[in-house]
Chain A
Amino acid sequence: MRESKLTRIIWGYGTLIGFLVLVAVFSLASDSFLRVNNILNILRQISMLAIISTGLTFCMVTGDFDLGLGSLGSLAGVATVSLLVKGYPTIVGVLGGLAAAGVFGLANALLVTRVGISSFISTLAAGSVATGVTFLYTQGQAIYGTMPEAFAFIGRGYVGAIPAPVIIMVIIVALGEFVLSRTRTGRYMHAIGGNMAAARLSGVAVERYRGLGLLFSSLGAGGAGIILASRLGSGQPTAASGFFLDAISAAFLGQTVLRDGRPSVIGTFLGVLIIGVINNGLTLLGVSYYWQDISKGIIIVLAVALATLRPKHGSH
């Protein structure tokens, strides 16, 4: 069947077109939607989700998955805050929080590549253990105290008119996109996700790069958890758990952006934007929070269903 140019564009850029339609609808329905203030607001709201989803994209590229993201994010936030209230400087707190999440990422890497456990199981277990550790340490209470100004800046500061977390997000997303599409590491990860046997027989260190994907995923979760802790001004044991479903949704939406259905950081970022716009737009319109969940679910299923139905190239 020959495709017309129009259908090719619709199939090729369907997710992007969908995003633009959403923007158009909300800007017609609400005067304040397209105001600079609101746009910055949306960007700040999605910054943490974008960072966590970028990490997840890395492990999805190699064909793995991370079900422990929310728990690792909360753990990192709690670890950072508790270091800071003990008087350590911001840099130590942040690195400590990242390390706490990273340890779990490394454990996943070892279990998946050396023992051969599926990443679904391994990361699910890691999430469970991380949640347990967080609760043991905090006894379920939020951790408060005096923290350095520098830490508050991470989540609440501004550079000019731009919120600090938005700047961090832009850096992480740009770096992620660069690594995944323009470096050897990214090439190897794509090869592993595309055909692990062929990658191994081409001399790619499959274990190392799969492990790296899981590590990046945990660090993304940790980073998002730390920014969230800064925004909240406290370490809360379940603070980041809400990110989990949105991150998965964003990554799946992202897979529908490219025609061959592979994960990409840019695609994931578009997924994050879609989720951010839906949340923001529906709130502006005064729609109940519960409707936001319902509409997100429907939109994700629709997008993925369309991507599944669209003709793939090379399938002759």
Chain B
Amino acid sequence: MTPPLLEMQGICMEFPGVKALDNVDLVLKQGEIHAIVGENGAGKSTLIKVLAGAYRPTAGRVFIDGAEVHIADPRHGLACGIGVVYQDRALVPSLTAVQNILLGREPARLGVLDGAAMRAQAEEALNMMGVSVPLDVPVGELSAGDQQLVEIAKIALLKPRIMVLDEPTAALSDREIECLFGLLRRFREQGIGIIYISHHLNEVFELADTVTVLRNGGVAGTGPVSGFTTGDVIRLMIDRDLSSQYVKEPVDIGNEVLRTEALTCRRIGVHDVSISVRAGEIVGLGGLMGAGRSELASLIFGAVRPDSGRVLVDGRDVTPKSVRQAIKAGIYLVPEKRREFGLVAVESIMSNMTLPFLRDFVRMGVVGTAAERGPVEKLMGELRVKARKATDPVATLSGGNQQKVVIAKWLAKAGRVFIFDEPTQGIDVGAKTEVYQMMLNLARAGAGVILISSDLRELVAMSDRVYVMRAGRLAGEVKQGEVDGEAVLRYALGGV
């Protein structure tokens, strides 16, 4: 029996504190389209990076045609015949298709670029794919579909035997997707093995021969696509392990505190979103990455102005034109990526904590007096922020303690609506539990809480209800008492 084109055996990948891949096996045959599916953070991207040579696995072996290879870096990966089309395009927008396709491999004579040869090679790659794109305009001006083709041509030129595509349809129209599928089927006929990563299960069932479901860094199931239904796949994707790190207690639900009416902002891709949050409720906002959840939060919080629609707090129209107006209306945001959006890392814990309501902490126009230090130190104690003193720079704190500082900013003045955007990303389990406790305390105090999370278990465990977004729109609402991962994923994935 001939060995498979690619075999990955027992791949493990550990980062400090996280096991991203846990004993993953994968077999790819010649002329096979093999889909890999899984939730955000299930390990799909990490697996590809291991295959491409961008990461060295902590354990495990990789075989090509039955011979073991040790892929040292992406260049070596390419030399082994592994071509990866990454999710975020690696094109230079100001260069033409020809220049992009041959970037770094330009044919030259005595150091002078050979324009005719470049063009010929690029055309050859595109002909081989049976497609054509405008060759002489900057790729930044091409449609998303054409850009994707240029990206693939770049890889196809190297005649890889294994081709990996990470979410290739994310920005494509239906017609462009059809075209891409045709292309991939032609590659399959040429005997190329294709690894296809997608969130869209309908695509997987239309295109792929084999599917592997990843969950929490491990393989949850694998086999021919014909052996699965979409329901099977979704069930495999969901992690049912509800450990005790979540703190959820019943809270009396009061009147509506927040309502959005048909909020729309085309520029950031939010369309017609109407949601409602009541006092004491923790309302989850689910969806895939790029579904428009953080964008919706930025509209509610006034960081971006909507084209149309309204935001109401306690029934009053407060549609904010700025962050300051939103804060005045009692809408507070704990943003995602705290180092980028939440913290002034070089400044002290104290100056971060008091930034939004600094006016309340000055004495005779002076900051840094006991009027500021006292409340800050009290809050640090209550939230158990581990630091030597209030004037330490935030940069010196651990991730969990940094996140506590971001949340503490908003505790100085009672708010009506708290939006938590990925509040537990990159923090340890202990700090996570404390963050959940803070959310619960706010709900108990009569605020409405919105939780945006890509961690499905967290979302399901903490939320009373869940709105699910897909492609900038509300895809559905999972009502109280019906919240489970399957229901959320069905709406998030769509088309199933």
Q: Show the binding face of A for B, using Cβ within 8 Å.
A: 181-184, 186-188, 190-191, 194-195, 197-205, 260, 262, 313-315
Evaluate whether A204 and B347 lie within 8 angstroms (CB atoms) in the complex, with A187-B367, A313-B393, A314-B395 already known: no
Tell me if B347 and A191 are in contact (CB < 8 A): yes
Contacts of B462 in A (CB 8 A): none
Contacts of B395 in A (CB 8 A): 313-315
A-B contacts, 26 listed (Cβ < 8 Å): A181-B368, A182-B367, A182-B368, A183-B365, A183-B367, A187-B358, A191-B355, A194-B345, A195-B343, A195-B345, A197-B340, A197-B341, A198-B340, A198-B341, A198-B344, A200-B303, A201-B301, A201-B323, A201-B342, A202-B355, A202-B356, A313-B393, A313-B396, A314-B346, A314-B393, A315-B395
Within B300-358, which residues are at the interface with A (CB < 8 Å)? 301, 303, 323-324, 327, 333, 335, 340-347, 351, 355-356, 358
In the assembled complex, the CB of B401 is this many whole angstroms from the nearest CB of chain A, namely 12
Q: Which of B344, B355, B359 has the most CB of A within 10 A?
A: B344
Are A194 and B367 also in contact (CB < 8 A) when A187-B351, A202-B356 are? no
Chain B interface size, under 10 / 10 to 19 / 20 to 34 / 35 or more: 20 to 34
Inter-chain contacts of B327 with A (CB < 8 A): 203
Whether A314 contacts B396 by the Cβ 8 Å rule is yes
Q: Give CA–CA (A3, B344) in the complex, Å.
A: 26
Q: A203 touching B347 by the CB < 8 A rule?
A: no
Q: Measured between C-beta atoms, what is the minimum distance from B238 to chain A in Å? A: 33
Is B154 an interface residue, CB under 8 A from the partner? Answer: no
Residues of B271-327 at the interface with A, using a CB-CB cut-off of 8 Å, are: 301, 303, 323-324, 327
The answer to the question of B26 belonging to the interface, with a C-beta cut-off of 8 Å to chain A, is no
Question: Out of B333, B346, B366, which one reaches A194, CB within 8 Å?
Answer: B346
Q: Tell me the bound Cα distance from A312 to B395 in angstroms.
A: 11
Rounded to whole angstroms, the CA-CA distance of A181 and B303 in the bound complex is 28
Bound state CA distance, A190 and B347, in angstroms? 8
Chain B residue with Cβ nearest A262:
B346
Other-chain residue from A191, A203, A205 in contact with B351 (beta carbon distance below 8 A)? A191
CB distance from A36 to the nearest CB of B (A): 35
A186-B367, A315-B395 known; 13 new pairs, CB 8 Å cut-off, are A181-B368, A183-B365, A183-B366, A194-B345, A195-B344, A195-B345, A197-B340, A198-B341, A200-B323, A201-B341, A202-B356, A202-B409, A260-B393
Cβ–Cβ contact A204 & B366, under 8 A: no
Nearest residue, chain B, Cβ from A195: B344
Q: Say yes or no for B362: interface residue by CB 8 A criterion.
A: yes
Separation of A194 and B346 alpha carbons in the complex (Å):
6
Chain A nearest CB: distance from B322 CB in Å? 8
In the assembled complex, which residues on chain B have CB atoms less than 8 Å from the CB atom of A199?
344, 355
Q: A182-B366, A182-B367, A201-B323 are in contact. Are A194 and B344 (CB under 8 A)?
A: yes
CB neighbours (8 Å) of A313 from chain B are 393, 395-396
What distance in Å separates the Cβ of B340 from its nearest Cβ neighbour in chain A? 7
Which A-B residue pairs are the 10 nearest by beta carbons?
A314-B395, A194-B344, A202-B355, A203-B327, A314-B396, A195-B344, A202-B356, A194-B346, A203-B356, A191-B344
Name the B residues within 8 Å of A187 (CB-CB): 351, 355, 358, 367
A311 vs chain B, min Cβ distance (A): 13
B351/A190 in contact, CB under 8 A: yes
Q: State which residues 453-486 of B face A: CB under 8 Å.
A: none
- Quote the shortest CB–CB distance from B372 to chain A (angstroms): 10
CB–CB B393/A184 < 8 A = no
Q: Which residue of A lies closest to B368 (CB)?
A: A182
B345 to chain A, nearest CB (A): 7
Give min CB distance, B245 to chain A, whole Å: 25
The residue that B345 contacts in the complex, of A201, A202, A314, with Cβ under 8 A, is: A314
